Structure 1
Amino acid sequence: MSFLPTLRNLVSAYQAFERYSAPDVKAMGLTTTQFDVIATLGNQPPMTCKELGEKTLVTKGTLTGVLERLEAKGILERKLNPEDGRSQMIGLTQKGKALFEKVFPAHLEHLAKAFNKLDEKELAVVTKSLQSLNHIFTN
């Protein structure tokens, strides 16, 4: 079980990331899931709920509630998919686009304060390692 230290460090790093990231998102008046949805839809054409779920890794049950709340706030809109009337296309409203343009760069700046502590070589190694882990779990 030589992978256990790696697993522990992976989980620990993710939890540390959440502790660093979540308060910044919360200060913007959003949940991390709402931010994830807004960030995914930002600068993108509308997409189906299935596509959005795959890109955000949010479960369908959770995503439905988040979409309803964001729609009620006027941040996103759902329209019938012209290519498949059984699904809807989800996109940001003008209000949602303005929110994205405000919160996304601000949060990236917050994250950069942490990631800038790594040099380019260290970032490349971490990226490659995470890609390798992702590959073994998805194939």
Structure 2
Amino acid sequence: MSQFLPTLRALVRTYQAFDNFSERHIKSLGLTTGQFDVIATLGNTAGMSCGEIGEKTLMVKGTLTGVLDRLEVKGMIVRVENPKDKRSTLIKLTELGEKTFNTTFQPHLEYLSQVFGQLSDKELQEIEIQLNKLQQLF
């Protein structure tokens, strides 16, 4: 039963190492990880509901609300009435939010490619397959 513990430790340590590496760069861009996730999710879209953003960023509602509130104060997002459903609100990037997306998203991908670029396409595909398999088991 405990044969999976070394794998579990490796998975957690890998996630922590990734999170620390990624967060360091995001902070240098003047954002928190949550703010970057929301801006990256909303970039190149006409806006999304809070539920859609939550699904894509994997943030729980309480955390997402706080991130959205702070982005709104910074002038990066705006909440607007959803024209398709008057009961819901759309979250959209403002001009400043779009500019932030355009100046942070690609540089962050390039930063991450320092690590992921060391793996072959085959290795990346194998890792993705195994991670998806593990996800499906849960």
Cα deviation per residue 1:62-93 (whole Å; 9 max; x = unaligned)?
11111011011110111011222221001111
Matched to 2:99, the amino acid is A
Matched, 1:96 2:129: no
Q: Which residue of 2 aligns with 1:14?
A: 15
Gaps of 5+ in 2: none
Gaps of 5+ in 1: none
Q: Secondary structure at the match of 2:88?
A: strand
Q: Which residue of 2 aligns with 1:48?
A: 49
Aligned residues: 137
Matched to 1:11, the amino acid is V
Cα offset, 1:110, TM superposition = 0.4
Cα offset, 1:45, TM superposition = 2.2
Cα offset, 1:98, TM superposition = 0.8
Q: Secondary structure at the match of 1:85?
A: coil
Query: What TM-score results when the alignment is normalised by the length of structure 1?
Result: 0.94
Query: What TM-score results when the alignment is normalised by the length of structure 2?
Result: 0.95
Superposition map of 1:109-128 within 5 A: 109-128=110-129
Q: Secondary structure at the match of 1:3?
A: helix
C-alpha RMSD over aligned residues: 1.0
Q: Which residue of 1 aligns with 2:135?
A: 134
- What is the percent sequence identity of the aligned residues? 54
Whole-angstrom CA distance in 2 between matches of 1:118 and 1:11? 20
